[in-house]
A = this chain, B = another copy of it.
Amino acid sequence: MNKKSSYQLIQGNEAAAEGALAAGVSFFAGYPITPSTEIAEILSDRLPANGGKFIQMEDEIGSIAAIIGASIGGRKVLTATSGPGFSLMQENLGFACLAEVPLVIVNVMRGGPSTGMPTSPSQGDVMQARWGTHGDHPIIVLSPGSVEEAFHYTVKAVNFAEKYRNPVIVLMDEIIGHMRARVSLPPTSMIERVNRVHPNMPPEWYLPYERSATGVAPMASFGDGYRHHVTGLVHDAKGFPTADPNEARNNIRGLFTKIERGFRELCLVDYEFMDDAEHAIIAYGGMVLSARSALEQLRKSGRKVGLIKLGTLWPFPRFALEQYLPQLKTILVPELNMGQIYREVLRVNAGKAVVEKLNRVNGTIITPNEIVKTVKGLIR
């Protein structure tokens, strides 16, 4: 990283790697895959220079397993991948959800399904990030809408993971991941770092899954004297497998409770020109760039259009939309998929505004002009 000027030209993937370091990540395990590989390459260099560790595993299953292990060992951990690798991580992602192990996965999306279009932009993994593993569990998914946000959201992701003892996905698209932009990154001293809560009672009293008032239980690292059991089986507050319906219920519902308690904090949303908007564009990731350009044109031509920019995709920030529903006539959701967040918008909208989608799944991106045209058509 070039440190000479406060402004630098950096790539989205590079910004995510810098964000990881800034947030205190000291362990990365991964397996290369386009278009996320730069993150691994950068961290393979920069982690050891900072006393951290990088390991290239035999595959993505091993990669997520290794970061879970390292997180249980007390490190802040991260991996980076793309669709095919993310699919392979699903089983162990579920383990981390259930065992409440903090970790961050950066998924730089590419065209799918399968090998798909490895170097083309896509937003096809939005629903997968929420539902990809079996069984009920909540998850936190952030989607940076600029290179700068790739940095800040990665920091936030690490902090959320630690605070909520939960996996966090940074769902980046190839547009953001591979573009370079002029960015000024804050000095490390300015970065807020959140650490997981460690137990502060005598080891004999420690219950690894007894939730405090925040809904989150303190987490001891292996080796710190708080010997305990971690399992992917449904467990009681001690961490031991259970078949007792009450304990099972507490285990699973508890996963949701902690996320519900943090709901407002977890929802990163920006609003642009929404005060008097009668029409809204809801966008995230690289589509924010097209939407902003479109907005500029639409406002210039007098259309009362605003932008709801979703930084958090899951938990879905329903209030972001709900608060504007009384004033909205139409909503457009441009996405590089067949309409994934669109479904959520439909659900929350509950029949109120006219909701339209604008989709693209051919490896190219939706241009500002296309959005302008569609919005104009919608407004009529």
B contact residues around A234 at 8 Å (CB)? 111, 116-117, 363
Taking a contact as CB atoms closer than 8 A, the residue among B82, B127, B363 that contacts A131 in the complex is B127
**In the complex the two chains form, is B363's CB within 8 Å of A245's CB?**
yes
Interface of chain A residues 97 through 131 with chain B (CB within 8 A): 97-99, 109, 111-118, 120, 122, 124-125, 127-128, 130-131
Could you say which residues of chain B place their CB within 8 Å of the CB of A350? 346, 349-351
Residues of B within 8 A of A253 (CB): 361
- In angstroms, Cα B91 to Cα A88, docked, is 6
**Option from B132, B338, B351 in Cβ contact (under 8 Å) with A128:** B132
Q: How many identical subunits does the complex contain?
A: 2
* A3 at the binding interface (Cβ < 8 Å): no
A114 to B111, CA, bound (A): 27
Select the stretch in A133-141, A193-201, A208-216, A264-272 that faces chain B: A133-141
Sampled A-B contacts (28; CB under 8 Å): A87-B133, A87-B134, A88-B90, A94-B114, A95-B113, A111-B234, A112-B133, A112-B134, A113-B136, A114-B133, A114-B135, A115-B232, A116-B134, A116-B233, A117-B234, A124-B134, A124-B136, A128-B131, A128-B133, A128-B134, A130-B131, A132-B132, A136-B340, A245-B362, A245-B363, A248-B361, A346-B350, A350-B350
